[in-house]
Structures are given as structure tokens and as C-alpha cells.
Amino acid sequence: MRVLLVDDHALVRQGLRAVLATTTDCDVVGEAGTGEEATERAASLHPDVVVMDLSMPGAGGVEATRVIRTTMPAVRVLVLTTFSDDDRVRAALAAGATGYLLKDAAPEEVVAAVRSTARDEAPVDPRVARALLPGAGRDRGPALPPRERDVLDRIARGLSNRQIATELGIAERTVKVHVGSLFRRIGVADRTSAALWARDHGW
């Protein structure tokens, strides 16, 4: 398995590299310290599994996961983080993460999770599994990545793509990508329906 390690702390990456070096079937092909670097390295290195932190400078792990899974669907993402709150779990999985593990996991658990992720078996730490229970987060609909939440808030206010791009400081074409992904995620076909959905779900 070709593995890409993504964490903004070099010490964490070194520790993960050392853990995976004890195996015969995991080859660490690269490292990244930001979400932007993660998407670039994934595109150039073609890993089987990306071990992804969530909290990083710039684009975080959720956004990087979304980009990687959208543009490289064959690449699996295993989140490895300190965060166990339901919102982060749902956001990461909604972005396309295959598995979710906490950083205090034992080394053998990390190795097993990487292998399971490569097999698309969705390893999830039991301590965060409650986010996947029926009814979790139902009041507000499906979990949305942070950027899609930003876009939905502005669609609900009646802003155009150009206005949203200006407010968020991103390209208009990027807004269009987020809008399309948002519409698919919440099951609507137009901006009016999205605004009504936002109102009905308390956004």
C-alpha cells in the first residue's frame, strides 16, 4: 500500500512513518503539512491511502479530503485526529473519508486501520461511532463541509455566485463547484430550493 501522511506537526508524521515502517505492506511515499500540500502530493504520488489530520493551517483536513475524493476517487482517506465531536466526524465522513481514528490509538490499531481503509472497509473508532447512529444530526440534515456551509448561508441570503466569491475571497468557478456539490448533498436542483432547505433545517 502506498501511503501519504498529512499532518502539520513533523513529529507526528515521523511517528507515523516509524509505525508503518514496521510493516511489510505499507510504503510511505510522501508527507504533507497542509491541506493544499495534501491535494498536490496526492495528485502527484497517487497513494492508495491518505492518513489525514483535520486541523491544519489553510485548507483543513475536511476540505482536503473533499478535494481528493472528488478528483481522485480511487484514493482512500483515513482521518487521524484528536477531535471526536459529532460535527467533525460527520463533516469528515460526508467529505468522503473512509475511516476515522483518534490519535491516541495504539500503533497496531493505526496499522490495522490503514489496511482496512485500503480495502474500503470504513474503520471508525468506537468512541466516535455515535455520530453514525440513525438520527444523529437529523435536525440540520446531512453534515456539510465548512465551505459548503458558508456557501449555503449566502445562498439563503440571496447572494449570487459572484457575490459569494467576493465575500469568501475565492474564485467564482470554485463557488460553482461548491454549489454543485452542495445541491447534490442536500438533494435540490436550484438556489430557491436550497434556500428553502436551509430555512427548514435551521441553517
pLDDT in tens, the chain (203 residues): 999 999 999 999 999 999 999 999 999 999 999 999 999 999 999 999 999 999 888 778 999 999 999 999 999 999 999 987 777 888 898 899 999 999 999 999 999 999 999 998 888 887 776 656 544 444 556 778 889 989 998 998 889 999 999 999 999 999 999 999 999 988 888 888 888 888 777 66
Q: If we measure between CA atoms, which residue out of 19, 27, 21, 20 comes closest to residue 1?
A: 27
Contact 80, 103 (CB under 8 A): yes
Residue 31's alpha-carbon distances to 41, 59, 182, in angstroms, are 8, 16, 30
Tracing cell 467529505 back to the chain, one arrives at 95
CB-based contact 129:140 (threshold 8 Å) = no
First to last CA, the chain: 41
- Please report the pLDDT score of residue 135 as a whole number: 47
Cβ contacts of residue 79 below 8 Å, gap of 6+? Answer: 52, 53, 54, 61, 65, 92, 97, 99, 100, 101
Angle formed at CA 140 by CA 134 and CA 142, multiple of 5 degrees = 60
pTM of the model: 0.65
Provide the Cα torsion 192, 195, 201, 203; round to 10°.
170
